[in-house]
Structure formats: C-alpha cells, structure tokens
Structure 1
Amino acid sequence: MTRICVAGGTGQVGREVVRRALDAGHSVAVLSRNPPPAGTAANIGDAEYFRADVTTGEGVAAALAGADVVIDCLEGRSGKAPGRHVVHRELRSQQLRLLPVEGRQGTRL
C-alpha cells in the first residue's frame, strides 16, 4: 500500500485528493494547519491528520514521515503558499521529491 501525504489536504482541492486517494486504497496522511476534529464531516474516513505549519516548519517532518508520495495542494489566500519552501526542504532532507501535477490532464492516483 502506498502512503500518500497531502500537503494542504483540508482545502477545497486537497479534500478531493484525500478522498480519491483513500478510495483508491492508499494510506493517507494530511498535513494541515488546522486539522478537522475527529468525528466531524470535514474529517475524511481513514485519513491520518497532522497539525503542521509550513511557514515555521512545525510538525512538517512528522506529517511527511513514511510518505512514498507527497501531493502539494497548498494554496494560501494569494494562491501561492508562502511556506512551500519549508515542505520542499523537509522533502529533500528525507530524500523525497515533490512532483508537480498542476494543470496536467489525466493525472490519476
């Protein structure tokens, strides 16, 4: 089973990515500044939520631990996540690569 970490997995796009990854049988970790409380509608199925702040790096390593794949759904109000470099730095330290999928047709989980 593939372990997928969805950075920004509680946003509009991220939630859909989490749902599709779970439906495809993957193990999913969600990196979020404000994870939804357990038992609420926003807390999706078997996803594992991690409180992490990409602007400070707090919690990022724990969320990425054991990930085979990281999907970047970070948004920010401007459409550009200011802390994205923190996630990328942690990925490099764990010898992982972030593969962009923005704008690609037919991308499948």
Structure 2
Amino acid sequence: MTTILVTGGTGTLGRHVTARLRDAGHEVRVLSRSAQPYAVDLRKGGPALDRAVADVDVIVHCASTQTGGDEKAAANLIAAARRANVAHLVYISIVGVDVVPFGYYKSKLAVEKLVESSGLDWTVLRTTQFHDLVARVLGAAAKLPVLLLPAGIDDQPIEVAEVADRLAELAQLPPAGRVADMGGPEVRSFADLARTYLKATGKRRAVVGVPLGGKTMRAFRAGGHLSPEQAVGKGTFEEYLARG
C-alpha cells in the first residue's frame, strides 16, 4: 500500500482524486488549511507540513488559489518533500500557461518550473478549464440584464471527474515528466457556451461580445489555452449542466 498526500484534497479536483486513490486501496492524507489532522497553510509551511509529508511516497499537488501565493506554497511543499525523500511529485497545471500572459497562468508556469528543478522525480499534467469554472463565470455574467463576454474567444471545458481519473492514474505510475495535455471533448465559442448555460438555467439574456485588447486577450483569441489535438474528454458541458 502506498501513502499518498493530496494537497487541496477537499477542493473541486482534490476530493475526487482522494476518493479514487482510496478506492484503489492507498492510504491517502488530505492536506488543506482546515482538514484535520493535516491542516496546513502551505504558504506558511512549518512543522505541521513536515508532519503531513513524513513517510509519504507520492504527493499530488492540487492546492491552488487565484489570490496569490502558489509559488511560495509550492516552494515550501517541495522543501518538505525533499526532507522527507518523497519519491514522486505530481502537479496539475493548465493548458496555455506558457502562451497566455494571464497572471494566474504565469503563477502556474512558475510552479511548473519549481517542480521541474526540484530535484524530485515528478509528473506534470496540463488540462483545459473545468466545466464548473465556465459555469461560474457565466453565472456571474448572467447576473446583469445583458450577458457580456469577451468577443472572439473559444473554450474547451473538461469534466473534473475525468481529470481526477487521470491524475490518480499518474500518481500510481512511475514519474513521467510532462505528460500529454488533456482537453475537453470539443472546442466551442464562449458565446455558444453562454447560450447553452442560459437555456439550461432558464434565464433569458442577450449575449453580447465585447472586443477587448491587450496581450492576454489576443492570446486567448488565438487559442493558446486550447488543446484540440488532445480532445480526450468525454463529458460535455450540456451533461454537466443537466446534473444541476
């Protein structure tokens, strides 16, 4: 039996990864800021982090925040993993972090580089955006009488459970470095996804594309965050919305 630590193990992705690894018979430790007995703020590190990592074979690093601190958190985790001689570090990243100059993407890319230079054996998986993220963005936009979206941008959302399947699989395999990206089943315009969301939620809104400038928007319009050649996902946005 392998002992596996899942950071962010109570989050959108982490809880699914945790369940799959436990179903596979592994001892799984869940690390988050509030989950006992491994309640740790990775940005602060300290003795509690060392206790969480002690005698762990594999770390699956799912913890992340768009409010900043991912690089510090990763540095602390890597340092603790080195001290504990962890055999394998698995990291989940995002398609396009090396192409789209979006702040959060830059942080994810920086963490990738920390993992690659850590001295640990590692695996990195990049995926496209999760269905639930797209739904949250559209839900927030739909609070206005007119649903405003950046014009000319496509997306390729993927089912989080499928990503969890792959991440759990990678955690049980030997370190593989950067593995093939994982994209949702289809590339669709954000306007089309918005209309799908409105229909599923029974909301009536005009969908209006707003032209936006800047390097980040140009990179998104160019599809830097997409992976059409790796459209391996099966679950569609409609199926996600139908589950409520």
Q: Into which bin does the TM-score normalised by the smaller protein fall? A: 0.7 to 0.9
Which structure's relative contact order is higher, taking Cα pairs within 8 Å and 6+ residues apart? 1
Indicate the SS of the match to 1:102: strand
Indicate the SS of the match to 1:6: strand
Q: How many Å apart are 1:80 and its aligned residue?
A: 6.8
Indicate the SS of the match to 1:71: strand
Quickly say closer, same or farther: Cα 1:80–1:89, change in 2 above 3 A.
same
Of stretches 57-66 and 12-21 in structure 1, the one that deviates more from structure 2 is 57-66
* Partner AA of 1:64 in structure 2: V
Residue of structure 1 equivalent to 2:239 = none
Q: How many residues align?
A: 97
Segments of 5+ residues of structure 2 without an aligned counterpart are 90-121, 128-162, 173-244
Alpha-carbon deviations, 1:31-76, whole Å to 9, x = none? 111117xxxxxxxxxxxx4111111113111111111111110111
Partners of 2:56 and 2:84 within 8 A in 1:
no
Residue of structure 2 equivalent to 1:55 = 43
Partners of 1:74 and 1:84 within 8 A in 2:
no
4+ residue runs over 4 A deviation: 104-107
Residue of structure 1 equivalent to 2:32 = 32
Quickly say closer, same or farther: Cα 1:80–1:20, change in 2 above 3 A.
farther
Q: How many Å apart are 1:4 and its aligned residue?
A: 0.5
Residue of structure 2 equivalent to 1:73 = 62
Partners of 1:9 and 1:73 within 8 A in 2:
yes
CA distance in 1 between counterparts of 2:22 and 2:84 reads 24
| Larger Rg belongs to | 2
Indicate the SS of the match to 1:76: coil
Q: How many Å apart are 1:5 and its aligned residue?
A: 0.5
Is residue 19 of structure 2 the alignment partner of residue 19 of structure 1? yes
Segments of 5+ residues of structure 1 without an aligned counterpart are 37-48
Return the structure number with greater helix share: 2
Quickly say closer, same or farther: Cα 1:22–1:74, change in 2 above 3 A.
same
Residue of structure 2 equivalent to 1:6 = 6
With structure 1 as the length reference, what TM-score do the two structures score? 0.76
Indicate the SS of the match to 2:42: coil
Q: How many Å apart are 1:103 and its aligned residue?
A: 2.3
Paired-residue identity, %? 33
Is residue 108 of structure 2 the alignment partner of residue 85 of structure 1? no
Q: How many Å apart are 1:21 and its aligned residue?
A: 0.3
RMSD of Structure 2 on Structure 1 (CA): 2.2
* Partner AA of 2:33 in structure 1: R
Quickly say closer, same or farther: Cα 1:92–1:85, change in 2 above 3 A.
same
Residue of structure 1 equivalent to 2:85 = 95
